[in-house]
Chains A and B, each alone.
Chain A
Amino acid sequence: MNTQAHKARTAALSEAMKREGADVLLLFGNNWHADHLRYATDFGIQEGQGIALVRADGATTLVLDDPAEAERARAETRTCEVVFAPQLVKEAKSQLARAGNRAIAAAPYHLLPYGLLHGEKDLRVNDGASIVERLLMTKLEVEMDAVRRAAKLADEGYAVFRDAARPGRKDYELVAEIETFFRARGVAENFMIIGVGGAEVRGMAPPGGKVLKPGDMVTTELTPCVDGYYAQICRTLVVGEASEAQRQAFNVYLEAMVAGIDTVKAGVTAAAVAKAENDVFRKYDLGQYTTSEYTRVRGHGMGLFPDQKPQILEDVQIPLEAGMTIIVHPNTYHPVVGYLVLGDSLIVRENGCEILCGTPRELFSVQ
């Protein structure tokens, strides 16, 4: 039942633990931050919280505080021991105590339960970021393949989205169609936000019941998950014919995205990619719309988490590495037409990148 990627990840994790001198690695997660837990156990947690204890020899115990989730984990992941414990922290501490005073690393460190780190004088837990972070960012070949498959479903999902978007429909009805499509295709998770309207729209959020009307721009980012791996596509459509202003604005975003993507290759920093995108906005006197007042990031990593490091920002000096999977998206507010998005997922290569999205880079029009 475990995925192909899991076997490769297990070997990589053991190697990293050995390199960092960790006897036990504790990984914490829930439906928001499921990535660390998934890396070690292959389990996609949906309800409650979980802790995985990975020993140096690879033996792994997954502790879950929801009984139905524990039952699902037993069926889905055959390579680790699954324990249901309503008192998650107490059980994890008990397991760690049984392991003795060994070198324990844990991640994500800042989210670890308070009770795990307090009240036990002999329990010393170190930040395990150095073990896990690089593994999460730079993908193995088998992981890249999962991201490719997710990107293909993102393309198919966007075709469903375009077909669903028409005047009179509510924003959440579009989401319902996408979700139905994804469930039927075996996609259990999807990160998706949406924006509907004109110059008053400053970003995307979950649907609030807005009704699509002629002239509206409809923005979305779809991020389906395949075997635990997310890939994202960002596109904008117009209900009816696009106005000249909308077309002109879109061309700026297209130029910026292409500039960003053309910059991508191993060794280039995330900052350089962001600068390439932002320079296009600056060229058109739209530089102020590349700041945090109007946009969050100019792209980001993706993998077992839909929005992971490296963030594509002009102050992020993380060098891109071959095998990183990222999206380049110059999404931001435009003062004339409102929030506009455009982005493609890609894999960083030594001398460039492999584009994963196949949906045309157009400002779509639906009737």
Chain B
Amino acid sequence: MRRGLMAWDENELPRAALEERLASLRAQMRQQGLDAFVAYTNIARGAAVCWLSGFTPYWNEGLYFVPMEGEPIFATALSKRVAEWIGSVMPQGAVTTTPRPPALIAEHIARSGAKKIGVLELDGFPAGHAKVILEGAPGVELIDATDAFALARGGSDTSERALLVVADMLAGQGLSTIRPGQTSEARALIAPCDSAARLGGAEECFTTLAADLAQSAGFLRTDTVSALGETYAVRVSLAYKGVWTRRTRSFANDAATQAAFDTADAALASFAAPDGVPLDKALAAHFASLGTLANWTAEQPRGSYPLAPVANETGAAEGLSLDAPFVLSVELSLKGKRWIGARLIGA
């Protein structure tokens, strides 16, 4: 669940920015002949509704209904006692708490006369909710509106970029507390990252550890992490006011390897989104002098997912927009030593 700071600050996320986002969505709805739009949200799939409303449910689930005109409606199964609180941290949309959010949305749809309802990620929409909407608003048609939402969202606006900068800074602060060799206890590396992030106002922080890079590049949580090896990497995935980023740094107990890792960190920090050159070629050129580029992944928000792979070295992931910030994760082999780094690019 989200248990860090959840607060709305108009200086960080102005109403005007949210109104522009809503207008952008409605323009796409009009273009695609939709009468209304519905998006599902929970803590794992909160990105789309947060982009529209500024709010992610800390627990439970909700539906965000956007009619062609008038105020959007957020229907959630959270208890009615928290409705006022949600209203104070959700600047766009009217909050209604109800044990049956889809039934309430169906009532609104029926009342509005809307027939063509765009649904974000229809394939992944809860089937039980779809059933209630279809029964409660007879004659409506549910149409996948994933593309319409993606077109509306486009790149990142100024507010989102500014929030990302803060998120990136908080992720970096936790990692900067780690001193190689200071502890042999794996969990002792994870805990301070959570501390720095949450004291700085992060809404959520997932810290994971690849405890022995000589053995594996897999990142584990504090409950399953194994003993630290000579080289290891810490990955901080962090949300601040609904926007997500990641940072990863690698560490070595011996000074020479750590120096090589620091050089790789600096190289990653100096990487900028390429202009006119494919990302894979730009990455290969940028890291060529350091070692072998083993793999890489770029992540951006996609639909309801706060971060999703949009490009990688295999070409299997697609959808990267170089005009918007992205999280770049890179694995290098530095004279046989595995190094992993990740950070936000382009904010």
A residues sitting closer than 8 Å to B (CB atoms) are: 1, 30-32, 44-49, 66-68, 71-72, 74-76, 86, 88-90, 109-118, 172-173, 175-177, 179-181, 183-193, 202-203, 205-209, 226-227, 292-296, 333
Contact = CB atoms under 8 A, between A and B. Distances in A.
Nearest to B130: A114
Interface stretch (B16-24, B161-169, B217-225, B266-274): B217-225
Nearest to A190: B3
Residue in B7, B125, B208, B224 with the greatest tally of chain A CB atoms within 10 Å: B224
Contacts of A208: 5-7, 85, 88-89
B126 A113 contact: yes
Contacts of A76: 220, 224
A74 B1 contact: no
Contact of B123 (A1, A115, A173, A179): A115
14 contacts: A30-B44, A72-B221, A172-B198, A172-B199, A173-B199, A179-B194, A179-B195, A179-B198, A179-B205, A188-B222, A189-B1, A203-B82, A205-B85, A208-B7
B219 A71 contact: yes
Interface size class on chain B is 35 or more
B6 A183 contact: no
Interface of B: 1-7, 42-45, 58-61, 79-82, 84-85, 88-89, 122-130, 142, 187-188, 190-192, 194-195, 198-199, 201, 203, 205-208, 216-224, 237, 297, 305, 307-309, 316-317
Contact of A206 (B4, B190, B191, B192): B4
A175 B45 CA distance: 23
Contacts of A173: 198-199
A113 B127 contact: yes
A76 B208 CA distance: 13
A19 to B, nearest CB: 25
Given A72-B221, A74-B218, A112-B127, A48 B1 contact: no
A31 B57 CA distance: 12
A51 to B, nearest CB: 11
Residue in A116, A175, A205, A294 with the greatest tally of chain B CB atoms within 10 Å: A205
A186 B223 contact: yes
Contacts of A184: 187-188, 190-191, 222
Contacts of A113: 123-127
Contacts of B195: 176-177, 179-180
